Structure 1
Amino acid sequence: MKNLIYKSGILLMLIMTISYTGMAQQSFRFSQFFQNTITFNPAISGSEEFIDLKIGYRQQWSGLNDAPQTYYISAHAPLQGKKEKRYGFQNNSLRISDPSMYERLGTSRSAGNAISHGIGGYIVNDTQGIFGQTSGMLTYALHYNMGQSVLSFGVGGGVNSRQLDLEGITVGNNEIPDATYQAYLAQEGRITNIDMNVGIFLRHENYYIGYSAKRLLQNELFANISAIGASEEIEHYGIVGLRFNVNNTLLITPGAFVKYTANAPVLYDINVRVKYEELLWLGASYRNTETVIAMAGLSLNNLVNLGYSYDLGIGDINDFRSGTHEIGLGFMLFNKKDTSPYMW
């Protein structure tokens, strides 16, 4: 009986968490953030020498009814002029026995433009019980080639639509109507706003670091509803990583990902990934929500790549928070130089 009461309390807490997240309209989050960086930093747009197309799905708390689910599709590509674009470094899929060839590949430069451009976009659908939101963004980035590194500036614009399934709510007789419910009801359960984000990203053969901010317009959560003065908070993201080429077949990348929003706890992931011969990679991560993450992926002929991760909660509510699956499928279209993605 005690165990039943404990689990019922935990379930109630989870339902409250889902409701709070829906009301506060927190953005989606991915464990494999390095696979889909364009969704939080527009400066990544066009950073590869091919069209980088990603499709993915995330299922949180598998086995729990109405658990959060996220679907996404994203793509970005370089805009090349008449001159060939070449960064001061590049990944290459050649399996070669002479390590010095990688050095020559990494330091080779052409007389291409110092400034290049990239475009991209994404659509993400995120549902959490009776709450849902769909975000669609178009992005642009300017890349400045500094020889051994590239500094990028990006901006994105689009729409964010939040929905509430009114049919999934049963309202009792209450002398004091709930203001939030009435606000949703007045707008037929849907609120759509225009939004913007910006980012900066510095990448080098041996490291990368970036910062971005989303929801710059800080839209009101409920338009023309004076009883509720809630508005969106700007979300700040930071990403940093090192790249160690142990030899011509092994790449090790430790890194971190941080998210900060005013009036909310700081969230961060610390991870390490190992890639073998541009073919197979393994990784592990720790998130400060008492979560450990196991990751693995596979690349096929630098055309298709597949990534999978599993989140395991290690805190007091492990029974409900564990079992989060995330899978991503990537396509490297028009990859004429047979290069692999810089961000994995």
Structure 2
Amino acid sequence: MGTGLKKHILCLWMLVCSCLLHTAGMSAQNDVQFTQYWAVPAYYNPGATGEIDFVRIRGGARLQWVGIENAPRSFLAAADMPVKIGKKRIGVGVNMSQESLGLFSNMLVNLQGSYKMKFLKGTLSVGVQGGYYNTTFKGSEVYIPEGDDYHQPVDEAIPTQDVTGSSFDLSAGIWYSHKYFTLGVSGLHLLQPTVRLESEGTESAEVSQYETVLKRSLYFTASGNIGLKNTLFELQPSMMVKTDFDNFGAEVTMRAMYNKFLSFGIGYRYKDAVCAMVAAEFKNFFIGYSYDYPTSAISKASSGSHEVVIGYKVKLDFSGKNKNKHRSIRIM
């Protein structure tokens, strides 16, 4: 990769990030928000499944806005791998996310598949995923204070018992992977399912009036890999832009990796937080940690957010030859 091309890629990335951050606003948290979004690409885009010749397993946990009671807590487990059928290559994956936000608890389980084809000097992948979405509201824990002019002791719009509901979810994405960069566009929750919340074991009209909507969302992601001449360092810029068509959000990250082992970087989420992160990869293991410090007024109540992502990958052999031949136990 020539020095001139490296400079053009880096300058273009900085220009695009600058434009997006000046035109974007904050988004609602429809999906689990990960500062290390670059470490779990298939969660945001099913087209990213089977991107590398490994079985890739990742898990993550995030404690958001530490110090605030009932602040969001998120968990993610994901796995994906490529599969070769004849001369065709597809990707398959599965992921499960769970998040608690106040009295709400949301869970989403997805099965993913992608079809891959050579395009220019990279690989173009088109992916889809079908999922099961479940949400629960703990109405039994609702507390409405009495004795002032701002609250009513009874609000018919708020359930006073625990209610839950579920729905089918559908998403799709396009992913382009090149030796030096990746680009992805995905639409999550395309059907924008409306979930009717009911108390367990009842179907009364009084309870089934409660509803919640999983809003349709659009994601754009990009990342680069720029080797620095005569060093063991690589610069790895990345960005994510998201919208649910009412609100917008954007975040940018710049990481430096040393000797394909240790990486560290900084990030910025528009009108939300500045981030610091460190990660290490060793013998197919991955571990990453990030810390977010809020730049909004929420910093008066919270010391920040903590996030950990861990993973493991197993190499796959598509050569058709078994390099690990063993005798049958029957002839030993």
TM-score (norm 1): 0.74
Amino acid at match of 2:281: S
Decide whether aligned partners of structure 1 residues 66 and 221 sit closer, same or farther in structure 2, where only a CA change above 3 A counts. same
- Look up the SS of the partner of 1:317 in the other structure: helix
- Deviation for aligned residue 1:179: 4.1
Decide whether aligned partners of structure 1 residues 242 and 317 sit closer, same or farther in structure 2, where only a CA change above 3 A counts. same
Decide whether aligned partners of structure 1 residues 137 and 117 sit closer, same or farther in structure 2, where only a CA change above 3 A counts. same
Task: Indicate the residue corresponding to 1:181 in structure 2.
Answer: 158
- Look up the SS of the partner of 1:180 in the other structure: coil
Q: CA offsets per residue over residues 243-297 of structure 1, 9 Å max, x none?
A: 2122473221212101101222x11001111111110001110111241000110
Note the residue ranges of structure 1 that are not aligned, 5 or more in a row. 1-20, 83-112, 338-344
After superposition, residues 209-228 of structure 1 pair within 5 angstroms as: 209-222=183-196
- Look up the SS of the partner of 1:34 in the other structure: helix
Contact 1:38 1:121 in 2 (8 A): no
After superposition, residues 1-344 of structure 1 pair within 5 angstroms as: 26-81=30-85, 113=87, 115-146=88-119, 148-170=121-143, 178-182=155-159, 185=161, 188-222=162-196, 231-247=213-229, 249-264=232-247, 266-301=248-283, 303-334=284-315
Distance 1:220 1:168 in 2: 24
Q: CA offsets per residue over residues 126-179 of structure 1, 9 Å max, x none?
A: 001211101100000111123620101000001110111233223578989534
- Look up the SS of the partner of 1:60 in the other structure: strand
- Look up the SS of the partner of 2:291 in the other structure: strand
Distance 1:263 1:305 in 2: 36
Report which of the two has the higher share of strand.
Answer: 2
- Deviation for aligned residue 1:50: 0.7
Distance 2:183 2:307 in 1: 24
Shift >4 Å, 4+ stretches:
171-177, 223-230
Task: Indicate the residue corresponding to 2:23 in structure 1.
Answer: none
Decide whether aligned partners of structure 1 residues 336 and 245 sit closer, same or farther in structure 2, where only a CA change above 3 A counts. farther
Amino acid at match of 1:199: G
> RMSD in angstroms over aligned alpha carbons?
2.6
Distance 2:266 2:99 in 1: 25
Q: CA offsets per residue over residues 169-225 of structure 1, 9 Å max, x none?
A: 23578989534324x85xx51110110000001111122111001111111143688
Distance 2:208 2:164 in 1: 17
Distance 1:227 1:143 in 2: 44
Aligned length: 279
Contact 1:179 1:227 in 2 (8 A): no
Distance 2:272 2:142 in 1: 32
TM-score (norm 2): 0.77
- Look up the SS of the partner of 1:181 in the other structure: coil
Report which of the two has the higher share of helix.
Answer: 1
Distance 2:173 2:111 in 1: 13
Note the residue ranges of structure 2 that are not aligned, 5 or more in a row. 1-26, 198-204, 319-332
- Deviation for aligned residue 1:122: 0.5
- Look up the SS of the partner of 2:192 in the other structure: coil
- Deviation for aligned residue 1:80: 2.0
- Deviation for aligned residue 1:317: 2.8
| Worse-superposed segment, 165-174 or 63-72 | 165-174
Distance 2:83 2:192 in 1: 31
Decide whether aligned partners of structure 1 residues 176 and 250 sit closer, same or farther in structure 2, where only a CA change above 3 A counts. same
